[in-house]
């Protein structure tokens, strides 16, 4: 290995990039020349996973980076992931070997408006890990892919404040190349106050280089863009995966995101604030929300959960209005994932596929969720739920209409939680129909 150190750098790089990642720390120890070649690969992807049991090695990583700040430019993909149990308490972090003073100096140097709170979090064994994660993110500038998930942000404001400071102020290094951002705070059933994250999540839309954004954001009492200059310029955003937000607030975002090509929307709906108020699941309104994207959107997915403030429910009474008929007007769609909708609020018969699927669609994903909810007025009775068998006439009708309609359709996926035996039986029947397109089944 020592003699290899004298080889031309391009030869060394070509060899190193094929080495397993676990070998790179040892390569860095051989010589300075090998270290210079190996470090970009060693630090290019950082993944820290935390499940409230074993702390990830964020402290030694951050200490190395702060002592050699030139390494930050190599951090291309950064992920703060892990799992969080709702009832789990954050264990105290052993800070005996953590250079807390160095980290505090770095925080003070940033001179943010929340430095005192940041240092206080750093000095506490219960919140030290959040302060370290915020310090890591604060120094990112050349990163292209960033993922931040629930364990790092649930009930903890620091990372959100750091993100806002990087976006709106000059106190922290700005993201220069960030293309993909995932900011995913799942619902906290045990502590509902932790779910108020609209302020920090709406700020993410002001990142000027992000093309792919995945975010879970709560519904505000009143939608308001967070800066005096108003709405952001979202001409760069081409892919959005968004959860929780209901249609009247999402409409505000889509109105300025007119270059979106892909939208995945998971809507969680809850009881109205007062018992005498009536909510309506209005599928026409949902389609209307998409109108600004009519000339650009190629992929659209819509899923829904119903629930109350503290917990998700399997069902909730709610009248249904409209259907997805107007999706036919979105003639650039090639990928579509939606629940089957009833013909009307009094007729639970599912809308025929040719009545709502554009002819441009190549891949279609369907479910019977909206037809089986108890809140579907005039819907299927408990003993007469929409079953897998009921999808067969819909598929046969498509095959009968081809090639006049849906001639580009090549794959249909059915989301269903029935047993594998039932799905295999239905699958065997579908094979005999010779539909001309593939049909697959997946569990929810």
pLDDT-derived band at 389, boundaries 50, 70, 90: confident
Mean pLDDT of 338-358: 87
pLDDT-derived band at 343, boundaries 50, 70, 90: confident
The length of the chain in residues reads 444
The region of weakest confidence among 179-188, 234-243, 382-391, 409-418 is 382-391
Highest mean pLDDT among 15-24, 175-184, 259-268: 175-184
The region of weakest confidence among 220-234, 268-282, 325-339 is 268-282
Query: How are beta strands 239-243 and 212-216 bridged, if at all?
Result: parallel
pLDDT digits (tens, 9 = 90+) for 187-196: 887 788 888 8
Q: What is the per-residue pLDDT for 14?
A: 64
pLDDT digits (tens, 9 = 90+) for 52-107: 888 999 999 999 999 999 999 999 999 999 987 766 778 899 999 999 999 999 99
How far is the first Cα of the chain from the last one, in angstroms, to the nearest whole number? Answer: 51
The yes-or-no verdict on residue 205 having pLDDT over 70 is yes
Q: What is the per-residue pLDDT for 310?
A: 40
Share of the chain above pLDDT 70, in %: 85
The yes-or-no verdict on residue 267 having pLDDT over 90 is no
pLDDT digits (tens, 9 = 90+) for 286-325: 999 999 999 999 999 998 776 554 444 444 556 678 899 9
Cβ atoms 151, 83 nearer than 8 A: yes
Cα–Cα distance for residue pair 340/356, rounded to 1 Å: 10
pLDDT-derived band at 390, boundaries 50, 70, 90: confident
Q: What is the dihedral of CA 231, 235, 237, 240, to 10 degrees?
A: 60
159-176 burial: b if 16+ Cβ within 10 Å, else e? bbbbbbbbbeeeebebbe
The yes-or-no verdict on residue 15 having pLDDT over 80 is no
| Percent helix, strand and coil across the chain, each to the nearest 5 | 35, 20, 45
Q: Omega before 279 cis (within 30°)?
A: no
The yes-or-no verdict on residue 380 having pLDDT over 70 is no
The yes-or-no verdict on residue 374 having pLDDT over 60 is no
**Residue 436: what are its φ and ψ, rounded to 5°?**
95, 5
Cα–Cα distance for residue pair 256/74, rounded to 1 Å: 33
Q: Which one has a higher pLDDT value, 2 or 436?
A: 436
Cβ atoms 349, 390 nearer than 8 A: no
Q: Which of 238, 240, 293 is nearest to 266 (CA)?
A: 240
Q: What is the per-residue pLDDT for 234?
A: 96
Q: Which one has a higher pLDDT value, 354 or 280?
A: 354
């Amino acid at each position: 290995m020592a003699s290899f150190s004298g080889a031309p750098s391009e030869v060394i790089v070509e060899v190193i990039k094929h080495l397993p990642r676990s070998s790179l720390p040892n390569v860095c120890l051989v010589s300075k020349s090998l270290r210079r070649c190996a470090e970009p690969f060693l630090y290019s992807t950082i993944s820290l996973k935390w499940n409230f049991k074993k702390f990830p090695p964020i402290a030694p990583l951050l200490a190395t980076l702060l002592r050699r700040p030139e390494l930050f430019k190599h951090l291309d993909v950064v992920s703060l992931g892990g799992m969080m149990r709702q009832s789990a308490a954050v264990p105290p972090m052993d800070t005996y070997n953590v250079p807390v003073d160095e980290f505090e100096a770095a925080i003070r140097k940033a001179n943010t408006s929340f430095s005192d709170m940041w240092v206080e979090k750093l000095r506490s064994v219960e919140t030290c890990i959040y302060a370290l994660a915020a310090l890591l993110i604060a120094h990112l500038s050349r990163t292209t892919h960033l993922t931040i998930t629930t364990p790092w942000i649930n009930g903890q404001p620091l990372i959100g404040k750091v993100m806002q400071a990087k976006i709106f102020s000059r106190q922290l290094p700005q993201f220069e190349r960030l293309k993909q951002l995932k900011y995913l705070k799942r619902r906290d059933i045990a502590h509902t106050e932790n779910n108020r994250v609209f302020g920090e999540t709406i700020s993410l839309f002001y990142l000027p280089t992000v093309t792919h954004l995945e975010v879970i954001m709560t519904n505000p009492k009143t939608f308001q863009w967070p800066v005096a200059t108003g709405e952001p310029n979202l001409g760069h955003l081409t892919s959005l995966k968004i959860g929780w937000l209901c249609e009247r607030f999402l409409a505000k975002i889509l109105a300025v995101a007119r270059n979106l090509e892909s939208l995945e929307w998971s809507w969680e709906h809850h009881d109205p604030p007062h018992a005498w108020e009536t909510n309506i699941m209005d599928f026409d309104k949902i389609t209307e929300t998409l109108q600004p994207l009519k000339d650009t959107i190629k992929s659209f997915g819509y899923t829904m959960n119903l629930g109350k403030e503290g917990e998700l429910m399997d069902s909730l009474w709610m009248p249904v209005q409209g259907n997805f008929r107007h999706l036919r007007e979105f003639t650039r769609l090639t990928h579509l994932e939606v629940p089957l909708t009833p013909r009307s609020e009094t007729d639970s018969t599912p809308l025929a596929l040719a009545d709502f699927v554009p002819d441009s669609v190549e891949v279609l994903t369907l479910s019977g969720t909206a037809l089986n909810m108890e809140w579907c007025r005039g819907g299927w009775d408990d003993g007469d739920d929409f079953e897998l068998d009921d999808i067969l006439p819909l598929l046969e009708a498509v095959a009968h209409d081809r090639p006049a309609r849906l001639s580009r359709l090549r794959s249909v996926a059915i989301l269903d939680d029935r047993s594998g035996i039932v799905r295999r039986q239905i699958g065997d029947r579908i094979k005999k129909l010779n539909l001309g397109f593939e049909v697959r089944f997946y569990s929810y």
